[in-house]
A and B are shown apart, each in its own frame.
Chain A
């Protein structure tokens, strides 16, 4: 998805994991995914660079659909659809 498309998405849940480094954002995402329904969009905020690689790998393994990310000033927004 392009940045524009990602910006237009309406996330069901925003997980702010900016206060933790690896593997914090992944743990936060795993915990939060239980709070939304299948087909809903989750957005993860992370200031940890490695998360941009880790979240897609996690989605790939667990079955969620990874949509992409875009960078803000000091962090990134990552998007996925729950399986």
Chain B
């Protein structure tokens, strides 16, 4: 009789421990989703290239990719054919000073007044590397999500309707990035 009681208690305790463990594992699994979150802050051609190559590689490996574009990187998302109205003087100046699209970016090294990017583009063609235009197109097809940091967009005087047509383009703030990054197995900052 005594023995039986002890066994019962033990099984109950085990069940409880198992439940606790299950809950912990569930939480861990949720925290480590097969997902890549990247904060893209630089607007240099080489860094945007790196961000896109890594993103495409991840997407090809079935990893969900979420890109958060902020500050200088916003230039890479501008569409030179779009001319938004209603900008104030400073916004207009920013618009003129900053690169007009992903094809107008400078290199972080060896820019040489625009000679560098021209050479890189030539080499990319020669070595069969996808162009940035092609990379963004593929990214859209693979379901890579791009979120634009609303605060830096306002700060730099960009308008929502001057960005490229992209299937998963969103506008959000820091909390969105932190929430996404928190559940991603990979977090990068470029």
Contacts and interface: CB of A to CB of B under 8 A. Distances in A.
Interface of A: 19-24, 26-27, 29-30, 47, 54, 57-58, 61-62
Contacts of B128: 19-21, 24, 47
Interface stretch (B11-19, B53-61, B92-100): B53-61
Interface residues of B, number: 12
Interface string B40-74: 00000000000001001100111000000000000
Interface of chain B, main secondary structure: loop
B188 interface: no
Contacts of B129: 20-22, 24
Contact of B56 (A19, A23, A57): A23
Interface in B69-106: none
A30 B60 contact: yes
Contact of B138 (A19, A27, A29, A47): A27
A67 B23 CA distance: 39
A47 B61 CA distance: 20
Interface centre among B57, B60, B128 (most CB of A within 10 A): B60
Contacts of A24: 128-130
16 contacts: A19-B128, A20-B128, A21-B128, A21-B129, A21-B130, A22-B129, A23-B57, A24-B128, A24-B129, A26-B57, A26-B60, A30-B60, A47-B128, A57-B61, A58-B60, A62-B61
A22 B53 contact: yes
A21 B127 contact: yes
Nearest to A54: B57
Contacts of B138: 27
Nearest to A47: B128
Contact of B61 (A19, A20, A21, A61): A61
